[in-house]
Structure 1
Amino acid sequence: MNFRVRDATYLNVDTDTGDNIIRSTNSLEQGLSPESDLLILMPKATQNEEETVESCRRLANRLNQIELCCKICLFPGEKSCFNLNCLAEFVHKVRAFHIVGVTEDLNLDIIPQVSAITHIPKQDLIKDAPVWGYIGDKHLVDVCSMGYTYRRDMPDGTVHTESRNLTSYHDALQPIWEERKSSKRNYLNQVLATVELINEWFSATPTGRVFSAAVMSDGTFNVPSGLYFSQPVRCVNHEWVPDGKQPLPQEELPLDTLYSDILPTLQTFQIGKSIEWIVSSA
């Protein structure tokens, strides 16, 4: 991550007037205080794992010094889950379920391709395909779980509508992720997904909507506890937790294939060393 903050801007809300205030600061410490509500981090795409670990360690030391205990939102990036595991390892004052990575943009990115393949108008697609995986290593967007509004003209001249999923398009949709491997993520979708997650997170009346986000697993879906993993989540008491009521992917792909390759890397850098699943995987 790039933590250079000179000329950075911070958005604060004056609780007395409700006016937005943009303030330019020269250091992270000037822009944050123990009373801050949210820190949004933007990962640096060019960093390797060693650089990521050191960047997270340096950032955590600074956050620990000011005893920051706010929520931390990681903007979408190439190594999101590894960044999150590093932050959770080194930041002491922030609860694990208050450190979250945005992954919903990966769902939004495929909408144009899904529409082109299925000939379903984009406005009729329900953007709810779960994003599973250790983002930055392997992931799966369960596109066949995506819903859409099916419209049928009735003999009496009315239009009947019903919700369906894309299971019947399974074979046709398979090439999507082969094509996406070399494609850049859409920046606008990243911003939209981040804003939607934050709105739900801080809402006085959350919608209860199921999101996809990278959160620390608690064993739901048999994903090892302590591993940051993108999965269906719901905001409960202003914390993002895995939603075990959601079905597993329709794709015949064991979830452990989406994180097993990263375990040696976590062991190498001693990330999550106190968590049982790291020890048992040795």
Structure 2
Amino acid sequence: MLHLARVFSSPFSLLLIFSHCVLNPRNFSPIAVSAVMAMDPVRVLVTGAAGQIGYALVPMVARGAMLGPDQPVILHMLDIPPAAEALEGVKMELIDAAFPLLKGVVATTDVVAACTGVNVAVMVGGFPRKEGMERKDVMSKNVSIYKSQASALEKHAAANCKVLVVANPANTNALILKEFAPSIPEKNITCLTRLDHNRALGQISERLKVHVSDVRNVIIWGNHSSTQYPDVSHATVKTQGGEKPARELVANVEWLQGEFIQTVQQRGAAIIKARKLSSALSAASSACDHIRDWVLGTPEGTWVSMGVYSDGSYNVPAGLIYSFPVTCRDGEWSIVQGLTIDEFSRKKLDATAEELTEEKALAYSCLS
């Protein structure tokens, strides 16, 4: 049984008790059950909540897809003043849906009200690049947005708030947020590359005609951009004869080092071309996956991809928000260590790190 002093030490403690007992039935006890029954709601902030991704995400959170089927939530939804009426409509729909886990909704255009007391912050709102805009103009807009929101989170969010940045450029937006929220632990600020990770799983499952749940341990390295490196060097596939390396089953190096990588890198653009709108449903689902695994833990022997603050692992420059393979336990992530990096992969890791270094310099130039 988990130690009670530890049980009540964080906003997610009761959630961790529940998962601990469900995953390990021998840990079951009446004390744990009563703790679960008394779960306090977790406050989840979604910025840009009236937008496409936000509209797809908030019902998933309210239904339990992010924090589990027994964890009550209070949704904090933030958007800009021109979207206030649409945001109110989203709130009405959430009420009308009568989600049993939804214990309250805050819909606001006030960043302070939105950030007050939140345990999880999913930063979906950002300034998209428009036709004719220079890259630095877009970066400058997002630096301003994330500087302001970082300040509000630092002053008003719960002490151990976990932050996921979704809005592009996600890695660099997360870095700016970290810069202006120094009291939030750097391990609590992440960006979304789980969408790319899931896309890579999907491509391998389609190629091999297996269920996506039978594929695991792909990796997304680097930036959430067209320089990202989807890597299957360590991926495995469950077969009737046991787990086998994905590379062995695909048996086509040219496809793995060419079309596969390009398909994952360009998937967002392909969806825009097909829908005339950017990815929303898949982005929202991946955001739930990211937070759920971070809070409840990754399955034994499985890693996922998260954009996290680099500590120099795999010779990636420290000080970047870079996507690594990670495992999660007790609400903390750890970079998977000791993986072999071949020459092809090394070049890919370095190329995406170079782009992130350039983005970082551009973002910091917008601060001066």
SS of the residue corresponding to residue 166 of structure 1 reads: helix
Which residue of 1 is the match for residue 350 of structure 2? 256
Cα 1:20–1:247 shift into 2, 3 Å: farther
Pairing 1:74–2:165 present: yes
Deviation at 1:4, TM superposition (A): 1.9
State the alpha-carbon separation in 2 of the partners of residues 37 and 63 from structure 1.
10
Stretches of structure 1 lacking an aligned partner (at least 5 in a row):
11-17, 152-159, 274-282
Which residue of 2 is the match for residue 175 of structure 1? 259
1:113-146 residue CA offsets vs partner (Å, 9 max, x unmatched): 4344x44323474142100012236201113433
Letter in 2 for 1:166: R
Cα 1:73–1:235 shift into 2, 3 Å: same
- Is the deviation greater in 22-31 or in 100-109? 22-31
Query: 88, 110, 128: which is aligned to 1:46?
Result: 128
Which residue of 2 is the match for residue 156 of structure 1? none
Cα 1:123–1:210 shift into 2, 3 Å: closer
Which residue of 1 is the match for residue 5 of structure 2? none
Pairing 1:210–2:297 present: no
Letter in 2 for 1:178: Q
Which residue of 2 is the match for residue 30 of structure 1? 113
Which residue of 2 is the match for residue 240 of structure 1? 333
Cα 1:79–1:201 shift into 2, 3 Å: same
- Whose strand fraction is larger, Structure 1's or Structure 2's? 1
CA contact (8 A) 2:127 2:142 kept: no
Cα 1:266–1:146 shift into 2, 3 Å: same
State the alpha-carbon separation in 2 of the partners of residues 207 and 122 from structure 1.
17
Cα 1:129–1:30 shift into 2, 3 Å: same
- Whose helix fraction is larger, Structure 1's or Structure 2's? 2
Query: 274, 295, 313: which is aligned to 1:220?
Result: 313
Which residue of 1 is the match for residue 237 of structure 2? 148
Cα 1:43–1:243 shift into 2, 3 Å: farther
Cα 1:20–1:124 shift into 2, 3 Å: closer
CA contact (8 A) 1:39 1:72 kept: yes
CA contact (8 A) 1:130 1:141 kept: yes
Which residue of 2 is the match for residue 130 of structure 1? 219
- TM-score normalised by structure 2 residue count: 0.60
SS of the residue corresponding to residue 230 of structure 1 reads: strand
CA contact (8 A) 1:67 1:93 kept: no
State the alpha-carbon separation in 2 of the partners of residues 187 and 128 from structure 1.
24
Which residue of 1 is the match for residue 363 of structure 2? 269
SS of the residue corresponding to residue 134 of structure 1 reads: coil
Deviation at 1:227, TM superposition (A): 0.8
Letter in 2 for 1:91: A
Deviation at 1:79, TM superposition (A): 1.4
Deviation at 1:267, TM superposition (A): 2.4
State the alpha-carbon separation in 2 of the partners of residues 32 and 58 from structure 1.
11
State the alpha-carbon separation in 2 of the partners of residues 140 and 213 from structure 1.
13
1:40-69 residue CA offsets vs partner (Å, 9 max, x unmatched): 110436142111111111212323443653
Stretches of structure 2 lacking an aligned partner (at least 5 in a row):
1-46, 49-78, 92-99, 130-137, 272-277
Deviation at 1:95, TM superposition (A): 0.7
Which residue of 2 is the match for residue 277 of structure 1? none
State the alpha-carbon separation in 2 of the partners of residues 106 and 29 from structure 1.
32
Which residue of 2 is the match for residue 197 of structure 1? 290
SS of the residue corresponding to residue 311 of structure 2 reads: coil
Percent identity for Structure 1 against Structure 2: 16
Deviation at 1:206, TM superposition (A): 5.8
Pairing 1:166–2:247 present: yes
Deviation at 1:236, TM superposition (A): 4.5
State the alpha-carbon separation in 2 of the partners of residues 124 and 72 from structure 1.
27
Cα RMSD after superposing both structures: 3.1
State the alpha-carbon separation in 2 of the partners of residues 66 and 112 from structure 1.
39
SS of the residue corresponding to residue 245 of structure 1 reads: coil
State the alpha-carbon separation in 1 of the partners of residues 171 and 329 from structure 2.
21
State the alpha-carbon separation in 2 of the partners of residues 107 and 191 from structure 1.
14
State the alpha-carbon separation in 1 of the partners of residues 282 and 343 from structure 2.
24
